[in-house]
């Protein structure tokens, strides 16, 4: 289909919730993409942190084709071997004594986390505890509750009334002062993704984790974007050396097949009938996740993941040094990186010019050029991406 035809149909039949760019990507090989007109791109977006083992990955497509021939879905009324295996891999990779619930997206995983915390708050102790503290500039998803958990006032303009019990802290320091008898949990991203690739300070996080343990307030870490090796370790929680009570995952886990997970050490809280999902953890999504985890575990163990992450970091930082008039700071970890731009207006221009030069790249917050490449990106693909980025910069 020609891009004009797709655009016409899209305009007529699809609700206009996205400001789409006018290209249609139809094929990919690791971090190289092709659109419907035959133009090639380097992918520094991985479908917003999703296509963790690259486009067109042969192991993933073989595993999926093989599974699809036998069974895609049967429901959670029956045992599902790849679901149990996937839970085992996630728990063992994490090193935490936890159990998993399978959902279909990040927002849904966060809904599960909030339900676990709220039920814990109802049955633990005498006073019902329900308040959840989140951070300003956070992003936790688009369902009504995940949206309310999101600390961005502008996103609460419509859609009310929202569920009660969410409190926003301006900073990590402010969290402790907001805890009261009704507080059951604090929910944070260790690196705020949508908020602008903003990592939290390690000491602040460790101090907060200790305070919460002491006060029996649960720590929920939203690892929807940071999880599955995005920041270098399997979980960013391991990088920060903390032990959360609840962790959520999604994006990179399925390599493009929708999946979400909430995992918790509070294994006794949810009982049969408390939570559920028709599609969650079905044969298709957990087969995908098992393959993604196998590929990335091998990649990490071989040392190549760390090597490529260091190389990627060196290229992002070099770019900031080369263009100090454009970029004020290089931020992030692993393959979740950003360059803060001095002019927010130049950011949209930069993304458009990059696309014209054959590079897909993202925006985060108001002024951050965001890099989220596939974790399997090669040195050649990284180099080619930066050549194109510099060509785009030259046209500004
Ligand atoms: N949490 C974080 C940290 C995210 O970055 C996102 C998506 O960007 C979400 C939750 C929502 O995930 P989903 O779009 O899969 O519902």
Q: What is the pLDDT of residue 126?
A: 74
Same domain, 140 and 214: yes
For residue 62, being part of any structural domain is answered with no
Distance between CA atoms of residues 64 and 379, nearest Å? 28
Same domain, 151 and 192: yes
Instruction: Provide the domain limits for residue 16.
Output: 3-55+303-395
| Protein residues with CB under 6 Å of any ligand 1 atom | 105-107, 110, 139-141, 189, 193-194, 222, 224-225, 250
E strands along 48-175, which residues?
99-103, 131-135, 166-169
pLDDT in tens, 343-370: 988 999 999 999 999 999 999 999 999 9
pLDDT in tens, 7-29: 999 999 999 999 999 999 999 99
pLDDT in tens, 249-299: 999 999 999 999 999 999 999 999 999 999 999 999 999 999 999 999 999
| Among 110, 138, 141, residue to substitute to test ligand 1 (most atoms within 8 Å of Cβ) | 141
Out of 259, 276, 301, a domain closes at 301
Same domain, 30 and 125: no
Ligand 1 centroid to 239 CA: how many Å? 20
For residue 66, being part of any structural domain is answered with no
Same domain, 161 and 134: yes
pTM: 0.98
365: CATH: 3.90.1150.10
Exposure string of 180-206, with b = 16+ CB inside 10 Å and e = fewer, is eeebbbbbbbbbbbbbbbbbbeeeebe
| Among 52, 195, 224, residue to substitute to test ligand 1 (most atoms within 8 Å of Cβ) | 224
Same domain, 353 and 334: yes
243: CATH: 3.40.640.10
For residue 61, being part of any structural domain is answered with no
Same domain, 139 and 232: yes
Distance between CA atoms of residues 109 and 106, nearest Å? 5
DSSP 280-291: TT-HHHHHHHHH
Which residue has the CA at smallest separation from atom 13 of ligand 1? 106
Tell me how far CA of residue 313 lies from CA of 44, 249, 335, in angstroms: 13, 24, 8
The answer to whether residue 127 scores a pLDDT higher than 90 is no
Same domain, 244 and 315: no
Same domain, 107 and 29: no
Same domain, 282 and 150: yes
Same domain, 330 and 283: no
Total domains in the chain come to 2
Helix pair angle (58-70, 283-302), 10° resolution: 150
Out of 231, 266, 301, a domain closes at 301
Same domain, 247 and 321: no
């Amino acid at each position: 289909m020609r891009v004009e035809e797709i655009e016409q149909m899209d305009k007529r039949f699809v609700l206009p919730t996205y400001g789409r760019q006018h290209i249609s990507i139809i094929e990919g090989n690791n971090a190289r993409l092709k659109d419907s007109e035959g133009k090639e791109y380097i992918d520094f977006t991985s479908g917003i942190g999703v296509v963790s083992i690259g486009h067109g990955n042969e192991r993933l497509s073989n595993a999926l084709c093989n599974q699809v021939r036998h069974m895609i879905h049967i429901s959670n009324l029956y045992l599902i071997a790849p679901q149990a295996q996937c839970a085992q891999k996630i728990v063992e990779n994490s090193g935490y004594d936890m159990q998993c619930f399978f959902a279909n997206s990040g927002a849904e995983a966060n809904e599960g986390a909030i339900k676990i915390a709220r039920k814990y708050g109802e049955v633990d102790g005498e006073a019902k505890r329900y308040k959840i503290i989140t951070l300003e500039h956070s992003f936790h998803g688009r369902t009504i509750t995940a949206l309310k958990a999101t600390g961005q006032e502008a996103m609460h303009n419509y859609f009310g009334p929202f569920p009660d019990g969410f409190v926003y802290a301006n900073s990590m320091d402010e969290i402790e002062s907001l805890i009261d008898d009704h507080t059951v949990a604090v929910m944070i991203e260790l690196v705020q993704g949508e908020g602008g690739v903003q990592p939290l300070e390690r000491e602040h996080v460790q101090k907060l984790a200790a305070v919460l343990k002491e006060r029996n307030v649960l720590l929920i870490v939203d690892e929807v974007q940071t999880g599955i090796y995005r920041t270098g370790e399997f979980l960013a929680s391991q990088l920060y050396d903390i032990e959360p009570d609840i962790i959520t995952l999604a994006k990179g886990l399925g390599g493009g097949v929708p999946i979400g997970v909430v995992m918790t050490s509070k294994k006794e809280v949810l009982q049969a009938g408390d939570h559920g999902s028709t599609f969650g953890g079905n044969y298709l999504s957990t087969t995908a996740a098992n393959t993604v985890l196998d590929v990335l575990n091998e990649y990490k163990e071989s040392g190549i993941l760390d090597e490529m992450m260091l190389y990627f970091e060196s290229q992002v930082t070099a770019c900031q040094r080369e263009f100090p008039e454009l970029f004020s700071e290089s931020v992030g970890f692993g393959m979740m990186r950003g360059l803060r731009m001095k002019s927010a207006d130049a950011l949209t221009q930069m993304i458009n010019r990059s696309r014209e030069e054959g590079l897909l790249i993202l925006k985060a917050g108001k002024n951050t050029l965001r890099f989220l490449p596939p974790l399997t990106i090669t040195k050649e693909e990284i180099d080619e991406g930066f050549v194109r980025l510099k060509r785009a910069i030259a046209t500004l």
